[in-house]
Chains A and B, each alone.
Chain A
Amino acid sequence: MLKSFRIGGIHPKENKLSAGMAIQPIAVPEQVVIPLLQHIGAPCQPVVKKGDKVKVGSLIGKSVGFVSAQIHSSVSGTVLKIDKAMDASGYKRDAVFIKVEEDVWEEQIDRSDELVTACSLTPKEILDKIAAAGIVGMGGATFPTHVKLTPPPGMKAELLIINGVECEPYLTSDHQLMMEKSDEILVGITLVMRVLNVQRAIIGIENNKKDAVALFTRKVAAYPGIEVQPLKVQYPQGGEKQLIDALTGRQVPSGALPISVGAVVQNVGTVFAIYEAVQKNKPLVERVVTVTGKEVQRPCNLRARIGTPLTKLIDAAGGLPESTGKVISGGPMMGKALASIDIPVTKGTSGILIVPAPEAKRREMKDCIRCGKCVQVCPMGLNPTLLMTLTEYEVWDRAEKNAITDCIECGSCSYTCPAYRPLLDYIRLGKSKVNGIIRARKN
């Protein structure tokens, strides 16, 4: 039997409509809008001003603080302005507007497709290059990668886990990247292993991607220490703690980081970006985005520059269907419904899901029938219905005792609730309130 995580989990319909569609580069738009906050942490300070000329890969946003990631220009041209622009959060935030002129790259960037396997850099130098390239977790969480690769003092990683699970329905960007860039990903893994000084890495791939499992099983023979592990298809296997449990049987304690059980998890997209940053000197200026949906004419995987308007990507997939009821940035489970599609692609945009109107509407909330399904499916072993009630009545101390901060916001509870209760919406609110209380207590 295939491995999987032990507690909870669901299996929504996979709907991988764009599976097997080759990654197509999308034309560089006439203007890009690059938000100065594309990661978890402090927003960047702009280092360019109106009228400045930039090339592809030029630094435009300098990170302030440790948990932050540099931002580079994804196009060449002139800075039009630094102004507020809406991003996926639905709020207006500072962004750099660049008018595109030609396509000139910074000289040190190697744009050839040639595979570079040799690397003579020290782990510290590799880490610095990752930080300089502004790489963040590409699975959608956008946590700065160099921070994740710097274990807290006294902790030591012994195992690297590569997340090729892509458990979100509809999304295929990681799958396609694995099929097309397997060698680059494997070199990237060896680089991360050197940074962490670990001898072993496991690539976890869900078994609905049999071609990727076969391809990597064949190729890892040449890379000592790297293994491939096919996994049972189950959501949310892509969650760090779930993936560690599935692959190693170790459970991360409540409130602790994965490093506490000696594991570091990296997404395949992130590892590919690390390869490009270290071996090709290429900062994170583009990413693969799945554009999909049941009524979309041509579901596809596109390689888009950061800052490209979403409308361009939707047009490339055959335009917005008449029946559209909702556009989601990310997958259907953890993605975010957008208030407007006039927003740019950012480092965390793993997909654009266009949901037809009949499916888009939430159904009316009914009273809890105490069936306990949410408790059964919660992969963190929490009691979602209790947490929702505690949030509703603002009983923060009990919410904290019931480990509301452990919630990974996977949405399995809301998905499974037969009374259509917005469990996750409430838990997310409660989680942020309790986190605020905990922070205030520490200070």
Chain B
Amino acid sequence: MSVILTAVATLGAIGAGSAGILYLVSQKFKVVEDPRIQEVQDALPAANCGGCGFPGCAAFAAACVSADSLEELSCPVGGQETMDRVAAILGQTASKTTKKIAVVRCSGSCEERPRQNLYDGASKCSIAAALYGGDTGCSFGCLGLGDCVDSCTFDAIHINPVTMLPEVVEDTCTACGACVKACPKDIIELRKQGPKSRRIYVSCVNKDKGGVARKACNVACIGCSKCQQVCPFDAITMENNLAYIIDDKCRLCRKCAPVCPTNSILELNFPPRKETPPAAKEKEVPITA
């Protein structure tokens, strides 16, 4: 009997001693973390996409807590709603952000942009881009090998097998910007999603002179600047033979699209025009972003 008692007593003493040491150590080396970091992190979408510019949601939460104001910080995935919640936790106000979405600024499908040579190297845009300008006459356009698709953590961008161009799924795109960084040709851009997802943009990045661009692709921007002249809001710039619509200034009046001789300005999710538009325009609408 005494053997059992001795064993219990000894083990009990060791246990109590260890507990004491552990308690002291945990007190001594305690890491004091602002409890709000965890709260903020819980409010974030936990996608860890890096779209905010920080490595993961935890780092973003820490940055929010330590920042003086939330002006420069925004979570593209959660949007305004999430940021408002974060602001409530921290007792600050979130800056107004507009929902953005990725747009692919190239409409050079196989039909519009004839292939001139055959690439059979490694199937990665960044490798192909380092080797040559692309398998068509346009050295600015989409290579169609899908680096953007691989980079997307939300399964929101896919290559259309018919056009061989990437298409953005509007409902799932969070504008985290991973595809923008992945594209070696800088074709993808984050733009304002616009009311009812309506937006207008120049779907071309070709900086060649008009004739050269047009020869390579039927839907290239040829830099004629007709859209710039017709724009009542000064929202269109012309640089390097290429038109660009500044989405902060654009009021979606739709004046520019019909004047474009190569149909390189796309308008998405608009109701059909009242005046009978040219037949060619209608076929563009299905080409989403």
Interface of chain B, main secondary structure: loop
Stretch of B105-113, B131-139, B280-288 lying at the A interface: B131-139
Total residues of chain A contacting the partner, CB 8 A: 19
Q: Is the CB of B127 within 8 A of A339?
A: no
B120 contact from A89, A362, A432, Cβ within 8 A: A362
A385-443 CB contacts (< 8 Å) to partner B? 422, 425-426, 428-429, 432
Q: Is the CB of B130 within 8 A of A362?
A: no
Given known pairs A339-B132, A340-B117, A428-B130, the reply for A92 and B124 (CB within 8 Å) is no
Given known pairs A91-B139, A92-B208, the reply for A429 and B124 (CB within 8 Å) is yes
Q: Is the CB of A84 within 8 A of B122?
A: no
Q: Is the CB of B133 within 8 A of A92?
A: yes
Q: What chain B residues lie within 8 Å of A370 (beta carbons)?
A: none
Q: Is the CB of B127 within 8 A of A426?
A: yes
CB of A13 within 8 A of chain B?
no
Question: Which B residue's beta carbon lies closest to that of A432?
Answer: B130
Q: What chain B residues lie within 8 Å of A432 (beta carbons)?
A: 130
Q: Is the CB of A422 within 8 A of B121?
A: yes
Q: What chain A residues lie within 8 Å of B131 (beta carbons)?
A: 90, 336-337, 425
The smallest C-beta distance from B278 to any residue of chain A, in angstroms, reads 32
CB of A361 within 8 A of chain B?
yes
Q: Is the CB of B133 within 8 A of A429?
A: no
Q: What chain A residues lie within 8 Å of B127 (beta carbons)?
A: 422, 425-426, 428-429
How does the 8 Å CB contact mask read for B92-124 relative to A, with 1 for contact and 0 for none?
000000000000000000000000110011101
Q: What chain A residues lie within 8 Å of B117 (beta carbons)?
A: 339-340
Q: What chain B residues lie within 8 Å of A339 (beta carbons)?
A: 116-117, 132-135
Q: What chain A residues lie within 8 Å of B124 (beta carbons)?
A: 425-426, 429
Given known pairs A92-B133, A92-B139, the reply for A340 and B116 (CB within 8 Å) is yes
Question: Which B residue's beta carbon lies closest to that of A92?
Answer: B139
Given known pairs A428-B127, A428-B130, the reply for A361 and B120 (CB within 8 Å) is yes
Q: Is the CB of B133 within 8 A of A422?
A: no
The smallest C-beta distance from B9 to any residue of chain A, in angstroms, reads 54
* 22 A–B contacts, CB within 8 A, in A order: A84-B208, A84-B212, A86-B133, A89-B132, A90-B139, A92-B133, A92-B139, A336-B131, A337-B131, A339-B132, A339-B134, A339-B135, A362-B120, A362-B121, A422-B121, A422-B127, A425-B121, A425-B122, A426-B122, A426-B124, A429-B130, A432-B130
CB-CB nearest 9 A-B residue pairs? A90-B132, A422-B122, A425-B122, A339-B132, A90-B133, A362-B120, A425-B127, A91-B133, A429-B127
